[in-house]
Amino acid sequence: MARTSFSLMAAAVAVVLAGCGAVPSANVAAGRCGAGFETFERDTLYFGRAIPSGGQVTDAEWTAFLDETVTPAFPLGLTVIDAAGQWRGMQGDVVRERSKLIVLVHPHSEKDDAAIGRIVAAYRVRFAQEAVLQERQAVCVRL
């Protein structure tokens, strides 16, 4: 993604999320979940599959990244979602890109924060990406 395109996309995502009530309720933020619930974090990572120099991250390359980098960091589980991202490019045209979202629900910890940072950095290096968008929310979870 071009830096300007990513900035525009990030700003648009922030506006959309703000309108969707993405800010956790005061009770969740204060760690006061209802009986039987625990306070966790939900991190959603947005991975664009277009490679800036041309081509796409293939299904096999994605699976290898998931198996080698993400799963060892979060072996208890995660969710992968296929998505189609888009944003308005510098010339005013709509740029579309196949994407993957990974949803991680986990207790807050510095270890998990560091693991997420390593996942993002590894994807950026491996597939020459400028950025991976990360969204975080406090959630109440019953296991």
Q: What is the CATH number of the domain that holds 26?
A: 3.30.70.120
Q: What is the pTM of this model?
A: 0.76
Domain hosting 63: range is 3-141
pLDDT, residue 11, reads 39
Q: Is 13 exposed, middle or buried (0-12, 13-18, 19+ CB in 10 A)?
A: middle
What percentage of the chain exceeds 70 in pLDDT?
Answer: 73
Q: What is the pLDDT of residues 21-74, one digit of tens each?
A: 444 455 665 558 999 999 999 999 999 998 888 899 999 999 999 999 999 999
pLDDT, residue 88, reads 65
pLDDT, residue 30, reads 59
Determine the average pLDDT of the residues in 2-22: 40
Query: What's the number of domains the chain is made of?
Result: 1
Long-range contacts of residues 10-17, Cβ cutoff 8 Å, at least 24 apart: 10/131, 10/133, 12/87, 13/133, 13/135, 17/135
